[in-house]
Amino acid sequence: MLSFQPPAVGEEEIAAVSETLRSGWLTTGPRAAELERRFAEYLEADHVLAVASGTAALHLSLLAIGVGPGDEVITSPITWPATANVIVHAGATPVFADVREADLNLDPDAVAALVTPRTKAILPVHLAGQPCDLEPLWALDLPVVEDAAHAAESRYRGRKLGGLSDATCFSLYATKNIAAGEGGLIATNRADVAAAVESLRLMRRGDGSLYDIVVPGYKANLSDVLAAIALVQLGKVERHAEIRARHVALYDEAVAELEGIEPLARDPRDTHALHLYVVRIRAEGAGATRDSYQRALAEEKIGTSIHFLPVHLLTAYRERFPDQAPLPVAERGGAEVLSLPLSPAHSDDDVADAIDALLRVHARFTA
Tens of pLDDT, residues 202-225: 865 556 677 888 889 999 999 999
In a domain, 3, yes or no: no
In a domain, 67, yes or no: yes
Residues 65 and 207 in one domain: yes
Domain stops at, among 172, 200, 235: 235
Contacts of 285 (CB under 8 A, 6+ apart): 259, 260, 261
The neighbour count for residue 251, using CB atoms within 10 Å, is 19
Give the CATH number, domain containing residue 275.
3.90.1150.10
Residues 167 and 299 in one domain: no
Secondary structure element (H or E) that encloses residue 156, with its range: strand 155-156
Q: Are 178 and 187 in contact (CB under 8 A)?
A: no
Domain stops at, among 174, 201, 235: 235
What was the pLDDT predicted at 213? 84
Residues 231 and 144 in one domain: yes
Give the CATH number, domain containing residue 63.
3.40.640.10
pLDDT band at residue 45 under the 50/70/90 scheme? very high
What was the pLDDT predicted at 203? 64
Residues 19 and 88 in one domain: yes
In a domain, 5, yes or no: no
Q: Are 178 and 226 in contact (CB under 8 A)?
A: no
Residues 71 and 197 in one domain: yes
Q: Which one-letter DSSP state was computed for residue 211?
A: B
Helix 224-235 with 30-43: angle, nearest 10 deg: 30
Residues 254 and 113 in one domain: no
pLDDT band at residue 334 under the 50/70/90 scheme? very high
Q: Closest Cα to residue 150, out of 133, 171, 180? A: 171
Residues 139 and 112 in one domain: yes
Residues 105 and 220 in one domain: yes
Rounded to an integer, what distance in angstroms lies between the CA atom of residue 244 and that of residue 255? 16
Residues 215 and 348 in one domain: no
pLDDT band at residue 77 under the 50/70/90 scheme? very high
Q: Which pTM value belongs to this model?
A: 0.97
Q: Mean pLDDT, to the nearest integer, of 46-63?
A: 98
Residues 318 and 304 in one domain: yes
Q: Tell me the residue range of the domain where 341 lies.
A: 237-366
In a domain, 62, yes or no: yes
- Rounded to the nearest 5 degrees, what angle is found at the Cα of 122, between the Cα atoms of 61 and 164? 70
| Torsional class of 200: left (φ above 0), alpha (ψ -120 to 50), beta (otherwise) | alpha
The strands making up 47-51's β-sheet, listed across from edge to edge, are 47-51, 184-188, 167-171, 145-147
Using the predicted structure, report yes or no on whether residue 109 has a pLDDT greater than 70. Answer: yes
In a domain, 66, yes or no: yes
Using the predicted structure, report yes or no on whether residue 11 has a pLDDT greater than 80. Answer: yes
* Mean pLDDT of the residues in the chain: 97
In a domain, 1, yes or no: no
In a domain, 201, yes or no: yes
The neighbour count for residue 77, using CB atoms within 10 Å, is 29
**Percent of the residues in the chain that have a pLDDT greater than 90, as a whole number:** 96
Q: Are 327 and 310 in contact (CB under 8 A)?
A: yes
Amino acid letter, residue 303? G
Domain stops at, among 218, 235, 252: 235
Q: What is the largest CA-CA distance in the chain?
A: 75
In a domain, 134, yes or no: yes
Q: Are 339 and 354 in contact (CB under 8 A)?
A: no
Rounded to an integer, what distance in angstroms lies between the CA atom of residue 191 and that of residue 227? 23
Positions annotated as catalytic residues are 176
Torsion over CA: 320, 326, 327, 330 (sign)? positive
Q: Closest Cα to residue 343, out of 333, 354, 334, 335? A: 354
Residues 278 and 130 in one domain: no
Residues 228 and 248 in one domain: no
Rounded to an integer, what distance in angstroms lies between the CA atom of residue 150 and that of residue 161? 11
Secondary structure element (H or E) that encloses residue 146, with its range: strand 145-147
The strands making up 261-263's β-sheet, listed across from edge to edge, are 261-263, 277-281, 337-340
Number of domains making up the chain: 2
